[in-house]
């Protein structure tokens, strides 16, 4: 399992693309053809992933959008980032 610290800069995998549809989004992984559906929270998170912001900066931006305790949001977004790296949607920060 990949460990993601608050200072880890996140970026989309090279073959991942996000398309906004209705109240959520879908992510397509070109190499495998897999399609993932995202809820609004994941969509908001992925919208902030730009290859320049670290996880803490993304959490700060999301805390402005959602009325959630920042510590809880940080834990949830760290777990989400780990899951998205495991699925190949986010680039592995060790690579």
Q: How far apart are CA 94 and CA 90, in angstroms?
A: 11
Q: What is the domain count for the chain?
A: 1
Which neighbouring-strand residues pair with 21?
24
Q: Is 23 part of a structural domain of the chain? A: yes
Predicted confidence band at 32 (pLDDT cuts at 50, 70, 90)?
very high
Q: Over 80: is that where the pLDDT of 95 sits?
A: no
Pick from 48, 50, 55: nearest CA to 81: 55
**Which alpha helices (H) appear in 1-95, and where do they start and end?**
40-48, 55-65, 70-87
Q: Over 90: is that where the pLDDT of 9 sits?
A: yes
Q: Is 26 part of a structural domain of the chain? A: yes
Sign, CA dihedral 79-82-85-86, equals negative
Specify the DSSP class assigned to residue 3: -
Whether this prediction's pTM lies above 0.75 is answered by yes
What's the CATH code of the domain at 41?
1.10.10.1150
**What pLDDT digit, counting tens, does each position of 51-83 carry?**
999 999 999 999 989 888 999 999 999 999 999
| Residue ranges making up the domain that contains 35 | 16-87
Q: Is 38 part of a structural domain of the chain? A: yes
């Amino acid at each position: 399992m990949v460990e993601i610290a608050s200072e880890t800069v996140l970026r989309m995998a090279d073959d991942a693309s996000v398309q906004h549809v209705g109240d959520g989004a879908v992510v397509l992984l070109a190499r495998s053809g897999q399609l993932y559906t995202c809820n609004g929270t994941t969509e908001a998170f992925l919208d902030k992933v730009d290859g320049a912001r670290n996880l803490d900066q993304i959490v700060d931006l999301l805390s402005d959008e959602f009325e959630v305790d920042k510590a809880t949001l940080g834990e949830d977004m760290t777990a989400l980032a780990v899951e998205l790296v495991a699925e190949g949607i986010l680039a592995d920060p060790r690579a």
